[in-house]
């Protein structure tokens, strides 16, 4: 079972334009889609589509349409009393796949909400194989809240994955190795935020991305899945003998419709491979295949298993420079 935490969920509204976005202009909207979303929610949705049990913990009223939508989709949603209404995030999608995101901050969460979320995660963690802490933190949450959660949950049997950015990511990195999760999933921008590298270089250079990701492995993280947009992903994994191996996966040709949620699908695909007992390189291929399939779908639509083609993903070992060598 995959247990997900989305402490700052969102109603994701995607507005698809029929022409490139121009500031100050009037545009005709081709389509509009609205979905209950958030990183953890997206992973739980993907789990349901793949037939993998999942429990989604998030702050929302039980009768909120957000919760009812997830329940109707088959997601085992375990809401806790929220600090306020679920925020709305808007994505503007252009015909060439370029997306502009307008993310709301969400309601301010006090200790009561945060304690309720933490208690719910502890309550369900014993039955989980993987626990995923994902997305931004709500206003009012300490920036090191994920770091504390990762340290606590790692000792409860399940493997812990974290996918976050900005101040919560920095706080987690600063708390390594004590708060080291089993898996982290940064993208190129997030890697660059704490390594000081150029994000564009990391995205196009697998060896540079692997060297940057190794900084996390060297500080106690077992596995790093670094997503690189249209350039695929790099995986670093610590082997049983303590050695570290790296692979780069190149995605199949994809007509990009929306990149929103593609990283979440990549993370789920990788976790699905782990649940199936696949080798690390095959887990990487499945993750990149899921992300590519999601990028070819509108809004935050989760790909179905028959839309995912890991056989079209090319995986190669990556030589890289270790910072401690």
Q: pLDDT tens across 273-298, in order? A: 999 999 999 999 999 999 999 988 88
Structural element, H or E, at residue 184: strand 183-184
Using DSSP's 3-state secondary structure scheme, residue 129 falls into coil
Q: Supply 44's token pair.
A: 């739980």
Sheet arrangement for strand 314-317: 76-80, 54-59, 2-5, 130-134, 159-163, 183-184, 223-227, 233-238, 244-250, 314-317
Q: Which of 2, 216, 236, 307 is nearest to 127 (CA)?
A: 2
Mean of pLDDT values over 81-86: 91
Q: d(Cα 264, Cα 49) in Å, to the nearest integer?
A: 14
For 182-325, CATH gives 3.40.1190.20
From the CB of residue 67, how many other CB atoms can be counted at a distance below 10 Å?
21
- As a whole number of angstroms, the distance between CA 137 and CA 40 comes to 12
Residue 307 to residue 289: CA distance in whole angstroms = 9
Give the residue extent of every domain in the chain.
Answer: 1-19+30-164, 182-325
Structure tokens at 41: 């929610």
Give the mean pLDDT of 111-129. Answer: 96
Beta bridge pairs of residue 324: none
Query: Is 216 buried (19+), middle (13-18) or exposed (0-12) by CB count in 10 A?
Result: buried
pLDDT of residue 321 exceeding 90, the answer is no
How many Å apart are CA 217 and CA 223, to the nearest integer? Answer: 7
CA 253 from centroid of its chain's CA atoms: 22
Check whether 101 has a pLDDT greater than 80.
yes
CATH architecture of 1-19+30-164: 3-Layer(aba) Sandwich (3.40)
Maximum separation of any 2 CA atoms in the chain, in Å: 60
Q: Residue 325: which pLDDT band, with cuts at 50, 70 and 90?
A: very low
Same fold, 1-19+30-164 and 182-325: yes
- Average predicted confidence (pLDDT) for the chain: 93
Q: Could you report the per-residue pLDDT of 16-44, keeping only the tens digit for each?
A: 999 999 999 999 999 998 999 999 999 99
Does the N-terminal peptide bond of residue 218 adopt cis geometry, omega within 30 degrees of 0? no
- Catalytic positions: 264
Residue reference for tokens 């009037």: 26
Tens digit of each residue's pLDDT (9 = 90 or more) over 171-180: 999 999 999 9
Contacts by 242-246, CB closer than 8 A, 24 or more apart = 244/214, 244/217, 244/322, 245/280, 245/317, 246/210, 246/213, 246/214, 246/317, 246/318, 246/319, 246/320
Q: Can you tell me the distance from the alpha carbon of 203 to that of 133, in angstroms, rounded to the nearest whole number?
A: 24
pLDDT at residue 273, as a whole number? 97
DSSP, collapsed to helix, strand or coil, labels residue 41 as helix
Residue 169: count of CB within 10 angstroms of its CB: 21
Please determine, for residue 12, whether its predicted confidence score (pLDDT) is greater than 60. Answer: yes
| Neighbouring C-alpha atoms within 13 Å toward the C-beta of 193 | 16
CB 289 within 8 A of CB 269: yes
């Amino acid at each position: 079972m995959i247990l997900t935490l989305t402490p700052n969920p969102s109603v994701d509204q995607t507005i698809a334009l029929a022409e490139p976005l121009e500031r100050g202009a009037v545009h005709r909207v081709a389509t509009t889609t609205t979905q209950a979303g958030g990183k953890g929610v997206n992973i739980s949705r993907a789990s349901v589509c793949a037939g993998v049990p999942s429990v989604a913990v998030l702050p929302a009223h039980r009768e909120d349409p957000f919760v009812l939508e997830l329940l109707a989709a088959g997601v085992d949603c375990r809401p806790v009393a929220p600090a306020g209404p679920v925020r709305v995030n808007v994505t503007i999608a252009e015909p060439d796949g370029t997306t502009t995101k307008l993310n709301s901050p969400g309601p301010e969460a006090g200790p009561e909400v945060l304690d309720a979320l933490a208690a719910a995660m502890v309550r369900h963690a014993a039955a989980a194989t993987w626990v995923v802490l994902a997305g931004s933190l709500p206003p009012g949450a300490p920036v090191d809240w994920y770091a504390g959660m990762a340290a606590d949950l790692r000792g409860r049997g399940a493997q812990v994955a974290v996918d976050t950015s900005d101040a919560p990511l920095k706080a987690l990195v600063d708390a390594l190795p004590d708060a080291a999760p089993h898996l982290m999933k940064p993208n190129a921008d997030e890697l660059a935020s704490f390594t000081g590298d150029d994000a564009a270089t990391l995205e196009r250079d697998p060896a540079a991305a692997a060297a940057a990701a190794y900084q996390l492995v060297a500080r106690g993280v077992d596995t790093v899945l670094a997503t690189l947009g249209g350039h695929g992903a790099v995986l670093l994994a610590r082997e049983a003998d303590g050695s570290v191996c790296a692979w780069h996966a190149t995605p199949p040709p994809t007509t990009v419709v929306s990149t929103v949620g593609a990283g979440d699908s990549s993370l789920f695909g990788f976790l699905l491979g782990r649940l199936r007992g696949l080798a690390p390189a095959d887990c990487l291929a499945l993750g990149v295949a899921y992300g590519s399939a999601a990028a070819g779908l509108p809004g935050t639509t989760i790909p179905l298993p028959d839309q995912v083609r890991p056989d079209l993903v090319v995986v190669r070992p990556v030589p890289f420079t270790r910072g401690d060598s």
